Every structure is written in structure tokens, then in C-alpha cells.
Amino acid sequence: MPIVPPTSEVTAAIEALGKLAAEANRVSALALDALRTSESRYRRLFEAAHDGILLLNAETAQVEDVNPFLIKMLDYSHEEFLGKKLWEVGAFADIAESQKLFLELQANDYIRYEDLPLKTKSGAMVEVEFISNAYDCEGVRVIQCNIRDISQRKRAEGASLRYLEQLKVALMNTVEVATIISEMRDPYTAKHERRSSLLAGAIGAELGFDEVRQEGLRVAGALHDIGMISIPSEILSKPGKISRIEMELIKAHAQAGYDVLSRMEWPWPVAEVAIQHHERMDGSGYPNGLTGNQIIPEARIMAVADVVEAMSSHRPYRAALGIDRTLAEIESGSGTLYDTDVVNACLRLFREKNYQFPA
């Protein structure tokens, strides 16, 4: 049979197919090269990472890969990780917790522990931050666990906390020194500050203040009359009636206390309590005639604690008036002179909870 030469159209089609195949091969080679480059880059990142990386099969919990940093961190060899389930590796040997952790990973595709203790092969404990994500990799569901050693950070945090505790002790010692100096000069004022300080803290607790604010109330109470140090002792201990001029001098203690206390940085409004504890809700107080919400809550509490302690205690110029008369006084001034919620809290303490000043 004679061979029929291809037509020009067929020849053109064959040439086009050849070019297409060549282009496909070129593109395939480029894609393969890009994949190899990507894998190489990932491997370099995996190997050089300064966090531990653990790859798990998401179905079986079997360790698929582990990077050098985690091997060094936990002191287990590459072989001691590979092919084992998560809880079969010594560092994760708490079977119940590790299996619970894995189930949570499977369910949520993400998990984070900010403070997880792991044990090294030698038995040392390492504090780590543990973050895991699940994703698909070449048709296989994997879980990548990033494990960061935070032991150094925890030690630094511990040192910071100890330093803050030392600062707090120093601050409270300073408050105590100020109280002792006040007591050496005027025992009545020092006793008044201590007792009203405790009552202010108790009222704050009754009103739902947290421990930090309660402590602030006690510190403010211990110092609220520090400005009295500017008043001549003859006036403070005077047994008779105080004159109008002497009273004006005494009133100046609120501003004097603020001037002293405001020079220090406090974690509570200590200076503000000193200047506001004689302010009254209707504006009839001193030194600035503040009203209502212009008076901070701590100062409203201090106002009531100050009056209750002062009236119920002995003073050089008068005998103690007794707690019943004192409570009747603040009750009659509720809403006008004193904050209603503060008065009610104080009344509950004494009438329902049997609060008593220390001897």
C-alpha cells in the first residue's frame, strides 16, 4: 500500500503537540524544582528553629518527625521519638494527660498551654509553652506541636515578683514608721488612725472591694491624718473647748496631709483620701466643699470610718460618746453628709455582724 504523506494541517498539529509536550515538561520540571526548593527551605527552618517542633500523625498520635532543638531540650534521641505514640515518649509519659491532650487536639485542631511542665530524660523539669495546630500535608492529616522553653522567662518573672514583694514590704514598713512617729508625738491620733484604718478596710470588704482595694483603704486609713503633724501638740492635746482659730488650724491638716503624701507614688489613692476624708456629700465639708461623685469612693468610706472611730473613742476634750450614739449620728446623716451605701455597710458590720474595734 503506498504511503500517503501527511497533509500540512496534520504536520502543523503534530508540531503543535510536540511544543505543548515540551512546554508541559518544562513547567513540570519548574514545579518539581520549586517543590524541592520549598521542601528544602522548610527543612532548613525545621532544623534551625529555636523552638522544639514535633510532628504527629493526627489519626494515630505517632511521632512522624522531631527537630534537633527538641531533641536537645528533652535529651531524647531521634530514634527514641520516631514511630512512637506521643504518650510513649518519656517526656510525655503521663498517659492519661497526654491522651487527653491528643483528643483535644483532634477535636479542635488547635491547643495552647502557656505553662506546661515536661520532664527531660535526666529527670529535670522544663517549663514550656505548648502550641499545636492540625493541617493536611500531602493527603495526610498531621499535628504540628511547637514547644518553647520558657524556664528562663519563668525565672525572670519569679525574680520580678520577689522584687515587687520586697518593694511592698518596704512600702508597708514606711507606713509603719510614719505611724510610729505620729504615735510618739500624739498617741490619740495614732490610735485613731489604726482603728479607723481597720474599720475602713472592713467596710470596703462589706461593699465588695477586692483585696487590693481593701489593702489600699487600710494604708490610706493609717495615714489619713498624717497632716496633724503640722498642728501644734498643745492644740491636739488641749483638754478644754477648742477655739474657732484653733479649729481652722486643725482643718488645715487635710491639705497638709495631701501635700506630704502626694510626693510619693502610691498604688492606691492615699493622698486623695487624706484631703477628701472631711468632705461631705452635700458640699458642707472641707477643705474644698466637694459634693457627691466629686468625692472618691475610698474617701467616702474613710469619712464614715473616721467619724465612727472618733465619736466612739475618748478624746482629751471629751469622753467617748459610745457606739450606739455614734451609729445613730451617721445614720441620721446618711445621704446628706455620708454616702448611703457606706453608712448601710457600716451599720451592718456593727449591728448584724458584731464588729468591734480592737482593744
pLDDT above 90 as % of the chain: 30
> Is 81 part of any domain?
yes
The per-residue DSSP string of 160-217 comes to: HHHHHHHHHHHHHHHHHHHHHHHHHH-HHHHHHHHHHHHHHHHHHHHTT--HHHHHHH
The average pLDDT across 281-310 equals 96
Of 126, 149, 172, which closes a domain?
149
Domain co-membership, 39 together with 69: yes
Identify whether residues 88 and 177 lie together within a single domain.
Answer: no
In degrees to the nearest 10, what's the CA dihedral of 305, 306, 308, 314?
140
Q: Does residue 359 form part of some domain?
A: no
* Alpha carbons 4 and 111: distance in angstroms, whole number: 71
Mean pLDDT computed over 202-219 = 95
Q: Report yes or no on 18 lying in a domain.
A: no
Based on the fold, state whether residues 173 and 228 are members of the same structural domain.
Answer: yes
Together in a domain, 42 and 178: no
Nearest to 251 by CA among 290, 271, 279, 291: 279
Residues 199 and 51 in one domain: no
Tell me the C-alpha distance between 312 and 323, whole Å. Answer: 5
Domain end residue (candidates: 149, 172, 197):
149
Q: Mean pLDDT for the chain?
A: 81
Locate 131 and state its grid cell.
502550641
Write down the pLDDT at residue 56.
Answer: 84
Residue 44 belongs to domain with CATH number: 3.30.450.20
Binned at pLDDT 50, 70 and 90, residue 31 comes out as very low
pLDDT at residue 35 in the model: 46
Decide if pLDDT at 19 tops 60.
no
Lowest mean pLDDT among 11-20, 94-103, 119-128, 265-274: 11-20
> Both 174 and 71 in a single domain?
no
Are residues 180 and 308 both part of a single domain?
yes
The reply to whether 130 falls in a domain is: yes
Last residue of a domain, which of 106, 122, 149?
149
Q: Is omega for the bond preceding 269 within 30 degrees of 0, making it cis?
A: no
Answer yes or no: is 111 within a domain.
yes
Quote the domain boundaries for residue 119: 24-149
Instruction: Indicate whether 22 pLDDT > 60.
Output: no
133 lies in the same domain as 235: no
Greater confidence (118 vs 42) lies with 118
**175/188 Cα distance (integer angstroms):** 17
Domain annotation covers residue 233: yes
Residues 302 and 346 in one domain: yes
343 shares its domain with 264 = yes
Q: What percent of the chain shows pLDDT beyond 70?
A: 80
Biggest distance spanned by C-alpha atoms of the chain? 147
What's the length of the chain? 359
What pLDDT is attached to residue 236?
A: 67
Confidence tier at 81 by pLDDT (50, 70, 90): confident
Average pLDDT over residues 319-330: 84
72 and 99 share one domain: yes
Q: Which of 88 and 279 is assigned the larger pLDDT?
A: 279
264: confidence class by pLDDT, cuts 50, 70, 90: confident
Phi-psi region of 116 (alpha: psi -120 to 50; beta: other; left: phi over 0): beta
Contact 4, 10 (CB under 8 A): no
Of 250, 345, 354, 254, the closest CA to residue 301 belongs to 345
CATH of the domain at 253: 1.10.3210.10
Is residue 225 one of the residues assigned to a domain?
yes
Task: Give the number of domains in the chain.
Answer: 2
Its pTM stands at 0.60
Please tell me whether residues 214 and 87 are part of one structural domain. Answer: no
On whether residue 10 sits in a domain, the answer given is no
